[in-house]
Amino acid sequence: MAKSVTAVDRRYRFVYKPLLFALCLIPFLGCAGGILAQSGFPRMPGYALGADPVRFVLDDFGKTALRMLLLTLAVTPLRHLSGNSQLLRVRRMLGLFAFFYALMHFCVYVGPFQSLSWSLIAQDIVKRPFITIGFTALLLLVPLAVTSTNGMMRRLGRRWQQLHRLIYPVAMLAVLHFWKMLKSDYREPLIYAAILALLLGARLWRRYRRARAATSTSVPPTAPERT
């Protein structure tokens, strides 16, 4: 039994996690390769940046951050369905990549997209509330990323789990940010909203079943009436 556990641990540590790490880097490497392609470097398929490379990179990083958030939220329901507790090993990595791509999305917006013009950024915030929504989601992700280490988990104890429930409003704000950004064709944010609703609904359903089971076991059976 111990040997099988050790073998699974090694597979996750040396095979699955490095493979997932490489897959999560593909959007970043694809965009970087697309930029370098203008200097003659080969680019990754699917990452032709087109006539507006800044807009392409900005949108790609934003969508990738949202997808990583949804994947992070999907780990727990998948663990319950499959019974594979090892899946929790990849949740932290997915969450950190969600923060990384959200931060890159913000940096591209502030830097290349707005040329560090704080007056233009301030006007954008006033005229376009979806930017305020996205920035709020990024700020809420910061404490989650900072406290993602094992040391912070031990230090915060139960408060760590309470703090990391912020991922739920973060995911909602991220979907709303994407939705408000568009002027037409809301199909893609609708898909993300449906996936998020499914993931949150699965959690509520499991919590309801656990509460119901706890109530049924805590109530002692009534004695039969004497006739």
Q: What is the pLDDT of residues 139-173, one digit of tens each?
A: 999 999 999 999 999 999 999 999 999 999 999 99
CA 131 to chain centre: 18
pLDDT at 138 over 70: yes
pTM score, two decimals? 0.89
> Could you give the dihedral angle defined by the CA atoms of residues 209, 214, 217 and 223, in that order, rounded to the nearest 10 degrees?
-90
DSSP structural state of residue 224 = P
pLDDT at 224 over 90: no
- Which two three-digit tokens encode residue 124? 């954008």
pLDDT at 52 over 60: yes
pLDDT at 226 over 50: no
pLDDT at 105 over 60: yes
Rg (alpha carbons) of the chain, rounded to whole number: 22
Mean pLDDT of the chain: 89
The crossing angle, in degrees rounded to 10, of helices 187-218 and 167-181 is: 160
Task: Lowest mean pLDDT of 5-9, 121-125, 136-140, 206-210, name the range.
Answer: 5-9
Cα 17 to Cα 163: distance, rounded to the nearest angstrom: 25
Cα 188 to Cα 185: distance, rounded to the nearest angstrom: 8
Share of the chain above pLDDT 70, in %: 93
pLDDT for the residue numbered 4: 62
Higher pLDDT, 84 or 175: 175
Average pLDDT value for residue range 121-129: 86
- Which two three-digit tokens encode residue 145? 């990323």
**Burial of 112 by CB count in 10 Å (0-12 exposed, 13-18 middle, 19+ buried)?**
middle
pLDDT for the residue numbered 96: 97
Share of the chain above pLDDT 90, in %: 63
Q: Is the separation of the CB atoms in 41 and 33 below 8 Å?
A: yes
